[in-house]
Structure 1
Amino acid sequence: MRNAACASWVNLFRSHPFVFMTGDLGFQALEPLRQAMGERFINAGIAEQNMISVAAGMARHEMLVWVYSIAPFCYARPFEQIRNDLCQHDLPVKIVGNGGGYGYGAMGATHHALEDYGALLTLPNMLAYVPIFASDVDPIVRSMAQSPHPGYLRLGRCEMPTGYQPPAYAPWRRLLAGDGTPALTVGPLTGGLLRVCLTLPPRQRPEIWGLTELPVSACPPPEPFLELLRERKRLVVIEEHVTHGGIGHMLAHALMCLGMPMERFVHVHALGYPSHTYGSQAFHRQECGLDPDNLLKILHIG
């Protein structure tokens, strides 16, 4: 997804010049953007708090600024600056975190982003975007560029199944029709679930929906999704994020406010480190029950 984002920024810069700041990261990936932007591409060094504050100052002078780093380095380390300098003043700085969830694998908790959008969405005016496929990145980048609010883009590795053609981008999308338990997924892990479900006959398939723009209060569920829940009265929410502040919490609150009766509501989410061991992203997903085989079992039970 990082390469797709780089291509989107290059195209965006041609029509809407902006400033791009990196926290000394993006080598062997962002060179086309650096070449296109010249002096507007700034390496802020390993100084993320300062990078956010400088970006805020530029935004006060009506510049569009994107800041980039490994996900926890750009939301956790400078959280105070994001809170005070960006969100309290509603400045349209765009934060890009690469390697959402367990994306950095064996590098461990310092490099994992398990509470990123949950933490950031506690702040006023913040919006978050979690692409499912690489093809989602360009429409999201363009939407973020037009938004007058601060935003957070969580990038991961595209896991779209071979031969699968996703529907046109929308914040809420039905990704796979089926007669089984509905599932709402967030982020690239959707690809693994789609891969196994595509092999099932329609009667056994879950109906899979994807959500890419947050919070739910700013991007409420569309009527076709609500009608599906009224009909089947059950839902499994799947995300590579801790339960607190996640989509499961947001959506449960939204459905309660709508008076939506649910017979079964299951939230499958990141559990941290159950075995106190670091490994690949696939290892951590399996420990948390976020692997396709376990998700399929949960969906059949639901």
Structure 2
Amino acid sequence: MRQQLCDALVKRAVNPDMIFMTGDLGFMALEPMQAAMGARFINAGVAEQNMTSVAAALARQGLDVWIYSIAPFIYARAFEQIRNDIAFHALPVKLIGNGGGYGYGVMGPTHHAIEDYGVMLALPNMSVYVPVFDEDMEAVITRAGTSTRSSYLRMGRGEPPEGYPVPAYKPWRQLTRGDGPLLIAVGPLASTYIAAFENLPARQRPNLWAVAELPISQSPMPAELLAQIKSAAILCVAEEHVQRGGFASELLLYLADQQIPVPSFKHFYARAHHFERYGSQGFLRRQSKLDVGSVLAALEII
């Protein structure tokens, strides 16, 4: 998604009040933005806490501020500054974290971002964006950029089937339809299920939804999804996030508050920061049983 991010921010850079700061990352990816922005493109160095506080100060002056780093360096290393300087003052700083979930694979648990949006949503005035497809990035940048709230953008890598017609961006999108279980997946993880689900007979095929914006209170569920939840025999959530504090927790609390019963529930989630072996994002998803084969087996479809 970095190329699409760069393209979208280059378009936005016509705004003279826009400032972009990076924590010494973006080589071989963000050079067009650096050229377009000139002195407004700032390499803050490996000093994420300082970059965050400076971003808050610039936003307090009315500037349009975006900061970028590897996901855990953005939300974890600078958490106190995000909490105290940005969230507590309701400043619309946009934090961009690349490599959400297990995106950095073999680089190990220090580089995994599997508690990120749960942590960020615990803060006041914070919105989270988890684009599903690479093509979502322009719409996400526009939506985050026009919001008065603080924002965290969790970037990954869109993985739709070859030739798949990516649907226009919406916070909630139904990607497959059938008479099987209802499964809501967060961000690009949803795209990894499309091909296998589409190959199933309609009576077994899950209704697959992708969510790209949180909290639910800021991007309410469409009526069609609510109707499917009310009629479903089983509701499932898949997310590349730890079990506690993630989307599943928020969804169940939301449904309880709305007095919508959930007859049966399954949660597929990131099971650990590290396993016996290191591996790619795909390997770590399999270890967590987030891969499509594990999901279908758990649903007793295969």
TM-score by length of 1: 0.97
Q: Which residue of structure 1 lines up, in the alignment, with residue 41 of structure 2?
A: 41
Q: CA deviation at 1:17?
A: 4.5
Q: Which residue of structure 1 lines up, in the alignment, with residue 293 of structure 2?
A: 293
CA deviations over 1:187-243 (Å, ceiling 9, x no partner): 212121112112222222101011000012322222111101111242110000001
Partner of 1:89, secondary structure, is coil
Q: Which residue of structure 2 lines up, in the alignment, with residue 252 of structure 1?
A: 252
Unpaired segments ≥5 residues, structure 1: none
C-alpha separation in 2, matches of 1:227 and 1:76: 37
Partner of 2:237, secondary structure, is strand
Q: Which residue of structure 2 lines up, in the alignment, with residue 13 of structure 1?
A: 13
Report the AA paired with residue 294 of structure 1.
S
Report the AA paired with residue 213 of structure 1.
E
C-alpha separation in 2, matches of 1:241 and 1:16: 37
C-alpha separation in 2, matches of 1:179 and 1:196: 15
Q: Which residue of structure 1 lines up, in the alignment, with residue 55 of structure 2?
A: 55
Unpaired segments ≥5 residues, structure 2: none
Q: Does 59-68 or 215-224 show the bigger shift? A: 215-224
Q: Percent identity?
A: 50
Partner of 1:110, secondary structure, is helix
- Alpha carbons 1:75, 1:116 under 8 Å: kept: yes
Q: Which residue of structure 2 lines up, in the alignment, with residue 202 of structure 1?
A: 202
Partner of 2:13, secondary structure, is helix
C-alpha separation in 2, matches of 1:189 and 1:232: 22
C-alpha separation in 1, matches of 2:112 and 2:13: 30
Q: How many residues align?
A: 302
Q: Which residue of structure 2 lines up, in the alignment, with residue 138 of structure 1?
A: 138
Report the AA paired with residue 19 of structure 1.
I
Q: Which residue of structure 1 lines up, in the alignment, with residue 151 of structure 2?
A: 151
State how 1:110-125 maps to structure 2 within 5 Å: 110-125=110-125
Q: CA deviation at 1:273?
A: 4.5
Q: Does 198-207 or 286-295 show the bigger shift? A: 198-207
Report the AA paired with residue 209 of structure 1.
W
Partner of 1:190, secondary structure, is helix
Q: Which residue of structure 1 lines up, in the alignment, with residue 176 of structure 2?
A: 176
C-alpha separation in 1, matches of 2:2 and 2:23: 15
- Alpha carbons 1:127, 1:151 under 8 Å: kept: yes
C-alpha separation in 1, matches of 2:69 and 2:232: 41
Q: CA deviation at 1:279?
A: 1.2
C-alpha separation in 1, matches of 2:273 and 2:146: 38
Please provide the CA RMSD for this pair.
1.4
Q: Which residue of structure 1 lines up, in the alignment, with residue 66 of structure 2?
A: 66
Q: Which residue of structure 2 lines up, in the alignment, with residue 224 of structure 1?
A: 224
Q: CA deviation at 1:87?
A: 0.3
Partner of 1:45, secondary structure, is coil
C-alpha separation in 1, matches of 2:39 and 2:299: 51
C-alpha separation in 1, matches of 2:59 and 2:30: 22
Partner of 1:266, secondary structure, is strand
C-alpha separation in 1, matches of 2:208 and 2:287: 22
Report the AA paired with residue 66 of structure 1.
W
Q: CA deviation at 1:18?
A: 0.6
Q: Which residue of structure 2 lines up, in the alignment, with residue 86 of structure 1?
A: 86
Report the AA paired with residue 289 of structure 1.
K
C-alpha separation in 2, matches of 1:173 and 1:227: 14
Q: CA deviation at 1:15?
A: 4.7
TM-score by length of 2: 0.97
- Alpha carbons 2:132, 2:212 under 8 Å: kept: yes
Q: Does 2-11 or 12-21 show the bigger shift? A: 12-21
Q: Which residue of structure 2 lines up, in the alignment, with residue 242 of structure 1?
A: 242
- Alpha carbons 1:102, 1:114 under 8 Å: kept: yes
